Chain A
Amino acid sequence: MSLLEVDRLQVHLFTNRGLVRAVDGVSFSLEAGRSLGIVGESGCGKTMTALALMRLIPTPPAQIVGGSIRFDGEDVVAMDDARLRALRGNQIAMIYQDPMTTLNPVFTVGEQIAESVRLHRHDGRHAAFLRAVEMLKLVGIPDPDRVARAYPHQLSGGMRQRAVIAMALACDPKLLIADEPTTALDVTIQAQILELLRRLRDDLGTGIILITHDLGVIADLVDEVVVMYAGKLVEHAPVRQLFAAPQHPYTRGLLRSVPSLDMREHRLRTIDGTVPPAHAMPEGCRFNPRCALVMDVCREKEPPLVDVGGGTRAACWALA
């Protein structure tokens, strides 16, 4: 049994401008101690997918309308509130994108880390606080005792993100979901945070889902990659396979747009066109207006996700 099995997950947004299929039939699974990356441009549904795994999507307007999420064999979608609370912060924890807004400004960092310890382990106030200090030390914060007593506004962005990670790890979760954990940080801090995540995966055996638009981050840290485009899973492959032999035209475009030092061309390659507006998706394959290999069938029918060998699945008529 896998740690996490996501099957044809569908999240819809019911907005004033119409229905948005933010996540449309996404499936993947993750074994304990392994890591999976979800990549895609802004607005492709990767954050929605991540939030849906813990049922943290803002309802309304968003709602899980189909599919299943099984964590340790248990269906998260059908779970009652009490069971869900027991899971959140305890077995599944999340690192959020913006450390500036993720922490509550009126409580100390230590209190906020200790809170989940008190909730899930029923530790006393003092024991929980000691655990918070211990976690801050684990994520490499110097002088953790002082930082635990500090308010978020007294810390730098990198320190805050470490505190958020400490909070996520406080109850030894089996699954850690990191939603663009380094996007809001300076490059040097980014490297430190990624190093920290790598160490946690190796030392603690935590399953990690890493959501990012940065392919460099993915290459470093994960075993498998899911590529999303406009709410759809377009390719799912082992990380080496993805970089060595990308199958879907969108994945190839993404990889080509990563600048490298030995590049002969002076101009950065981009994918032509833009992501269509969420409430006006094209018929057929959602990537067809931007695809160089577009065929008639692409404009009529959605491509199925097919096994193309080497452990890769891709959704493209050119491969079907």
Chain B
Amino acid sequence: MAGYILRRILEVIPTVLLVLTLVFFALRIMPGDPAVAALGEFAAPEAIEAFRDKLGLNKPLYVQYFSFIGQALTADFGRSMNNNTSVNALLAQALPHTIVLGLTATAIGIVVGIPFGAMTAVHRNGKLDGFGRIFALIGFSLPEFYFGVLLIIVFSLHLDWFPMLGAGKGFVDQAHHLVLPAITLGVVMAAFVMRLTRSSLLEVLRRDYVRTARGKGVPEHWVIFKHALRNALIPVTTGLGIYLLTTLSGTITVELVFSRPGLGTMLISGVSARDYTVVQAGLVVFAFFVVCVNLLTDLLCAAIDPRIALR
């Protein structure tokens, strides 16, 4: 097991290097000039030249590339090309909001999706299953930007239960601000997790070892939640891992809809300002999340299924 974990962690290194390289060159191919974006279209050519000089944009591409890689590996992303604040400071401001939003949404997805999915599988074709089907249909077909706006209209404008925009200050206020964005992301994820759990559990409930458990006199709820669900969770975990990556981009949409500070908002403003350093840092952090989620998914699967680590 320890060897498996170590191997998986070592595999992360080339992935991260590749992502860094892609991010760097993708940005350099992108049309637009950060100097022009920062100083305006009618700035004097000398001023633009001086600006480019100061930021190192006149250096050969490979020099820029290696200094970027070096920075990224030491987790120092330099200064914003636009307003000279430290990118690390910007990240420190934005990241917690995105992480809290993502984790809360995931928690909603798991806590609602898995038990609900298990119950729809057990009462297959019953009333609850029918309700689940409708819930899944809604969850799957509502895009986040639309669902978010819908929630704002109903719960903020009409009912005035939750604040509309921003992230709030202090714990209670922040939690209050978090509810609608987290539900926007969480409901969609719950629908996905529910359907995945349902189909996976239905498949497992047909297996011989479930009959063996019943034949031992194991109470039915144990049969389902101990013997069957643990096996059913293996594909659910993998699916959830893949889905979390979709949710990462979902956070960008939701942050825009709710005008929340966060990684998404930071990235969007960075792109429109051609702020290479900010966008680079944002993308690297995103890529880091992706790699972490993948690693975590694999480790979780290995923890659930003893057959995996040996492969």
Q: Do A and B interact?
A: yes
Which A residues fall within an 8 A CB radius of B? 54, 56, 58, 81, 84-90, 93-94, 96, 98, 101-107, 112, 115-116, 119-120, 151, 153, 164, 167
Q: Smallest CB–CB gap between A183 and chain B, Å?
A: 14
Which B residues fall within an 8 A CB radius of A? 207-209, 211-220, 227, 230-231, 304-307, 310
Taking CB atoms, residues of chain A closer than 8 Å to B207 are 101
Taking CB atoms, residues of chain B closer than 8 Å to A107 are 227
Besides the contacts A102-B209, A153-B310, what 7 more A-B pairs have beta carbons closer than 8 Å?
A56-B211, A85-B217, A85-B219, A105-B305, A105-B306, A119-B218, A153-B307
Instruction: Tell whether, in the assembled complex, residue B217 and residue A90 are in contact, meaning their CB atoms are under 8 Å apart.
Output: yes
Most buried by A among B220, B230, B306: B306
Instruction: Tell whether, in the assembled complex, residue B215 and residue A54 are in contact, meaning their CB atoms are under 8 Å apart.
Output: yes
Can you report 13 residue pairs joining A to B where beta carbons are below 8 Å apart? A54-B215, A56-B211, A56-B215, A58-B211, A85-B217, A86-B217, A89-B217, A89-B218, A101-B209, A104-B212, A105-B209, A151-B307, A167-B212
Instruction: Tell whether, in the assembled complex, residue B215 and residue A89 are in contact, meaning their CB atoms are under 8 Å apart.
Output: yes
Checking A58, A81, A106, A116 against B216 with a beta-carbon cut-off of 8 angstroms, the contacting residue is A116
Q: Smallest CB–CB gap between B211 and chain A, Å?
A: 6
Checking B214, B219, B305 against A56 with a beta-carbon cut-off of 8 angstroms, the contacting residue is B214
Distance between Cα atoms of A167 and B216 in the complex (Å): 8
Distance between Cα atoms of A120 and B212 in the complex (Å): 15
Q: Across the interface, name the chain B residue whose C-beta is closest to A115.
A: B216
Taking CB atoms, residues of chain B closer than 8 Å to A105 are 209, 231, 305-307
Instruction: Tell whether, in the assembled complex, residue A88 and residue B215 are in contact, meaning their CB atoms are under 8 Å apart.
Output: yes
Taking CB atoms, residues of chain B closer than 8 Å to A58 are 211
Instruction: Tell whether, in the assembled complex, residue A89 and residue B216 are in contact, meaning their CB atoms are under 8 Å apart.
Output: yes
Q: Across the interface, name the chain A residue whose C-beta is closest to B230.
A: A106
Taking CB atoms, residues of chain B closer than 8 Å to A85 are 217-219
Q: Smallest CB–CB gap between B216 and chain A, Å?
A: 4
Instruction: Tell whether, in the assembled complex, residue B217 and residue A151 are in contact, meaning their CB atoms are under 8 Å apart.
Output: no
Instruction: Tell whether, in the assembled complex, residue A153 and residue B306 are in contact, meaning their CB atoms are under 8 Å apart.
Output: yes
Most buried by A among B212, B230, B305, B306: B212
Checking A81, A89, A98, A106 against B208 with a beta-carbon cut-off of 8 angstroms, the contacting residue is A98
Checking A86, A94, A153 against B215 with a beta-carbon cut-off of 8 angstroms, the contacting residue is A94
Instruction: Tell whether, in the assembled complex, residue A116 and residue B212 are in contact, meaning their CB atoms are under 8 Å apart.
Output: no
Q: Across the interface, name the chain A residue whose C-beta is closest to B212.
A: A102
Distance between Cα atoms of A102 and B208 in the complex (Å): 5
Distance between Cα atoms of A119 and B50 in the complex (Å): 80
Most buried by B among A106, A115, A119: A106
Taking CB atoms, residues of chain B closer than 8 Å to A104 are 209, 212-213, 227, 231
